[in-house]
Amino acid sequence: MNKVKVGVIGCGMISAIYLKNCTQVFNNILEVVAVADLVPELAEKRAEEFNVPISCTVEELLANPEVEIVINLTAPAAHASVNMQTLNSGKHVYTEKPFALNRDDADEVLNLAKSKGLLVGCAPDTFLGASVQTCIKLIEDGEIGQPYAANASIIMGSAADGMHPNFQNFLKLGGDPIMDMGPYYLTALVAMLGPVKRVTGSAQKLHEEVTITNEKSPRFGETFPVEAPTNVAATLDFHSGAVANVQAAKESFGYRPRLEIFGTKGNLTVPDPNFFGPIPGFIGDVTIQYSNFETKTIPLTHGFSEDSRGIGVADMAYAIQSGRKHRASGELARHILDISLSIFEASESEKHISIQSTIDRPAALPIGLKDNVLD
């Protein structure tokens, strides 16, 4: 099988794990041939670090006839425009989340891709990891009966305590808790329970501005305006009949993730879907509490329990070669965006908001995949 050649636009912090996995884990299907960034030194550093032959400008990468898939790792505000540029250059695109900051931009990307016969993919791809795939199998096998409710809690520390050099992006739409961390949980919920029918919610800003208090941060002492909600709560009604509560905030201390699916025969605890699998001492196991109050730890049924960011790109590459549907699709990301924006709109209007988009649940990964091969 021929490898699909990849170029990466955006060489910031998240690019390291993508490049590591694309060059070392999924190199049976992917070959990274070029990297680009608006800051040439960042691209040069990543090219040297991961033995990528070409470090270049964005325009040069998009003009490179070898590149078949572009991985878009730019800032959230640039996702849609870079996706459009990529598609107009005749290449498939896989973008970091959020897919876009509004529905019109998302639809423009999907419509252009369809007209050109190109594929669009989008993070997160953590739902393809061992934890969520194991939970999907448990639900499909009837292990917890009929799922009727879910609870997702994404409580994390303020960005003011962090080390990210572009801290200010987390105070804008797209860096807010529901559009930054929320997609991991919303995508996992949709993968397990199916599409969402309607939402209601409340969103609030606790501060008008934030000063970085972490003395080790490169932006220590700087003050930025808060432009998006930092505390969001929502109720989601699924077409399947299940109802989920979602709480997402960047105003606490530490990191307290929780995801549970409640069924008529048992309650399923899903490890943090920001990760691919359990991490001893940090991210717990898959467990089920049965009606007799017995709790069992469930062995993982699927692989990819390590940090496998980029598996969505690899899956898309197999889809390009075989003609099947890819799992971390633009259509799935558009549905997640629709849910997220509708939560904000519900808060503003003080009403339920019906979700206009819908999708099929992405196909589960087969059991028994070996050597990081997905087909």
Residue 305 domain-assigned?
no
pTM of the predicted structure, to 2 decimals:
0.95
- Between the alpha carbon of residue 3 and those of residues 129, 317, 339, 374, the distances in Å are 22, 8, 35, 13
pLDDT beyond 90 at 162: no
Based on the domain organization, do 291 and 248 belong to the same domain?
Answer: yes
- pLDDT top residue among 281 and 192: 192
Please state the length of the chain.
Answer: 375
pLDDT bin (cut points 50, 70, 90) of residue 172 is confident
Query: Which of the 8 DSSP states describes residue 146?
Result: S
Based on the domain organization, do 56 and 85 belong to the same domain?
Answer: yes
The whole-chain average pLDDT of the chain stands at 95
| Closest by CA position to 286, among listed 85, 161, 143, 135 | 135
CATH code for the domain of 31: 3.40.50.720
C-beta separation of 143 from 290 below 8 A: no
Residue 302 domain-assigned?
no
Based on the domain organization, do 142 and 265 belong to the same domain?
Answer: yes
Is the Cα torsion angle 313, 316, 320, 321 positive or negative in sign?
positive
**Per-residue model confidence as pLDDT tens digits over 289-310:** 998 889 999 999 999 999 999 9
Residue-number span of the structural domain to which 57 is assigned: 4-122
pLDDT bin (cut points 50, 70, 90) of residue 207 is confident
Residue 182 domain-assigned?
yes
Based on the domain organization, do 255 and 117 belong to the same domain?
Answer: no
**Per-residue model confidence as pLDDT tens digits over 4-43:** 999 999 999 999 999 999 999 999 999 999 999 999 999 9
At which of 269, 297, 325 does a domain end? Answer: 297
**Cα–Cα distance between 270 and 129 in angstroms, integer?**
12
How many independent structural domains does the chain possess?
2
Whether a cis peptide bond, with omega within 30° of 0, leads into 124 is: yes
- pLDDT top residue among 257 and 115: 115
At which of 297, 330, 352 does a domain end? Answer: 297
pLDDT beyond 70 at 159: no
3-state secondary structure of 204: strand
At which of 66, 95, 122 does a domain end? Answer: 122
**Cα–Cα distance between 17 and 46 in angstroms, integer?**
11
Residue 312 domain-assigned?
no
pLDDT attached to residue 224: 87
